[in-house]
């Protein structure tokens, strides 16, 4: 993929430029949509089982793609719902991203991907290794010092929205499947709103022009009206 993996970009391998904060919001939104698609596949839902930055690829338009489908698990259930569990006989996934309940019981569900999703989101915000990251972010929020652990290479984070995204990610970390937020009904609506914030920031950062006030916009053509000094 043209822009490598998310891991390569977050940790700036080969001195690649940092990903702007608004693109990180958008990537979180894209990942949520991709997981919802997999989890709602017919006739049988699919669990990725190894979601992590190294398996997220970035194309030339900076659109994220979930890769490494080798560990994908199809749920064998004719009466599937979001709490359905599937017994996986051999360990899959990557340490720090693996659902603790899966490690304890050997059972996977779509909520297993939700657990990994939260680690990826926290890495999008901090560009830090995954180990103990949820605890680090939670303590930073409690101590009102979240800004100190955000990726300093990014520049001007939108702190309030970033805090909201961090708290949203932490809500996906409950140890029991049933206590985790539902990706489609609880997480995605908030990500939709944050993506709108990100899109506006992206437009302002890339437009390179000043938007004229409304009274300088032609109401018919919707284009700027040129003002001259003479009559």
Give the residue numbers marked as catalytic. Answer: 50
CB 49 within 8 A of CB 93: yes
Please state, in angstroms and rounded to a whole number, the distance separating the CA atoms of residues 40 and 74: 11
Burial 187-205 (b: 16+ CB within 10 A, else e): bbebbeebbebbeebbeee
Following DSSP, what letter does each residue of 2-65 receive, concatenated? TT-BHHHHHTTGGGPPPPPHHHHHHHHHHHHHHHHHHHT-SSS-EE-S---GGGEEE-TT--EE
DSSP 217: B
Match 């690649």 to its residue by tokens.
16
Phi, psi angles (nearest 5°) of residue 112: -65, -40
CB 48 within 8 A of CB 66: yes
């Amino acid at each position: 993929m043209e822009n490598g993996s998310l891991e390569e970009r977050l940790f700036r391998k080969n001195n690649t430029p940092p990903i702007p904060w608004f693109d990180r919001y958008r990537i979180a939104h894209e990942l949520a949509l991709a997981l919802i698609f997999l989890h709602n596949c017919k006739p049988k839902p699919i669990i990725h089982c190894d979601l992590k930055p190294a398996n997220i690829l970035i194309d030339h338009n900076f659109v994220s793609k979930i890769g490494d489908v080798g560990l994908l698990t199809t749920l064998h259930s004719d009466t599937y719902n979001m709490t359905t569990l599937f017994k996986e006989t051999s360990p899959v996934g990557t340490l720090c991203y693996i659902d603790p309940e899966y490690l304890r019981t050997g059972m996977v569900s779509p909520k297993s991907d939700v657990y990994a999703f939260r680690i990826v989101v926290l890495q999008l915000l901090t560009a830090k290794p995954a180990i103990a990251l949820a605890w680090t972010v939670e303590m930073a929020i409690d101590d009102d010092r979240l800004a100190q652990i955000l990726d300093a290479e990014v520049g001007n984070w939108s702190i309030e929205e970033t805090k909201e995204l961090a708290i949203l990610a932490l809500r996906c970390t409950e140890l029991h499947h049933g206590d985790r937020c539902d990706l489609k009904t609880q997480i995605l609506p908030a990500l939709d709103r944050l993506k709108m914030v990100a899109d506006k920031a992206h437009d302002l950062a890339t437009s390179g022009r000043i938007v004229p006030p409304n009274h300088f916009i032609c109401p018919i053509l919707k284009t700027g009206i040129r003002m001259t000094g003479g009559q």
